[in-house]
Amino acid sequence: MEYRKLGESDLELSVITFGSWAAGGWMWGGTERSDAVDAIKASYDLGVTSIDTAPVYGQGLSEEIVGEAIKGLPRDKVQILTKYGMRWDLEKGSLAFKSKNNDGQDIDIYKYAGKESIIEECESSLRRLGTDYIDLYQIHWPDVTTPIEESMEAVQRLIEQGKVRYAGVCNYDAEQMKTAESAIRLASNQVPYSMVNRGIEEVVVPYCLANKKAVLAYSPLERGLLTGKIKPGHHFQEGDHRAQHKYFSEDNVKRVNVFLDKLRPMALDKGASLGQLVLRWTIEKPGITVALVGARNAEQAVQNAKAVDVKLSAEELSFISRELLAIGI
């Protein structure tokens, strides 16, 4: 495994970081808890020491699964990344969207990052995770109803109390990061990034490079689309959000598969899967610190971790860029 520093902090993350949204089952058609625990443990055995989660993933279930998986591991050898600011149990802030929990019950998800709410959320996360500190605490989405400075001051208090080591943000633009830094020193920004979703290259990545902030890329496999396993006509399980997502429209799935067919010979030559090739490409991109990758069982976790063994030359990276341009991505 390879490790990289998180901005100017002394926190090092594994370049393949375990993303545990799918582990919580919510919006992914359910989960098998024991499989999710095994996936995290299998990742750790291969050097994936960093785990990203959030309270809203499974409405606490994902954090509980992470806590179960790391129980008994040396705490200083594991980096726990979690979030705040998405409430399903409090009607405050702005309504993000309506959803259903893992039991099929209707729930409303709110974006809210008021000071006292953050303090409360942190205590709940610590309890579910079975730890007394969080390595990286990140606001999940911007909250337009609360001043950014108020949210960051709450996290600063948690840092002073030793409950949080470093502060990060998710889904922030450069201006929002600047505002946050008037109240706290940020270590990172977690944003969506993949071969087919590269919007952050325009402003966010240059800003983070110039200001020495880490970029945590989530959905690098574009929710499984870039593994090559999603074909036109694919049927998703009940409750799987991908069925309605724009990237999984019939036309887009066809277009992406044309591109992936161009990469298959390269992957085959390296003895790698398409997913592994895509992950290596992701962590080779300038400004990208780590790739957050989900897995629902040990087999998937092992395949993700082994992406670090893939090597890409400058010529191969250029070839991939040309093929992306050729299909208009």
Helices (H) and strands (E) in the chain, counts: 10, 13
Within its chain, how far is the Cα of 302 from the centroid? 17
Look at residues 196, 177, 222 and name the one whose alpha carbon lies nearest to residue 7: 177
5 touches 11 (CB < 8 A): yes
C-alpha 39/C-alpha 171 separation (Å) is 26
Cα(243)–Cα(211) distance, integer angstroms: 38
Residues in the chain: 329
List for the chain the helix, strand, coil content (%; round to 5).
Answer: 45, 20, 35
Beta bridge partners of 294: 19
Q: Please give the structure tokens belonging to residue 169.
A: 């943000």
- Annotated active-site positions, please? 57
One-letter identity of residue 255: R
**H or E, element range at 75:** none
Of 286, 217, 305, 227, the C-alpha closest to 16 is 305
CA distance 299 to 201: 32
Runs of H (alpha helix) within 25-93: 33-45, 61-70
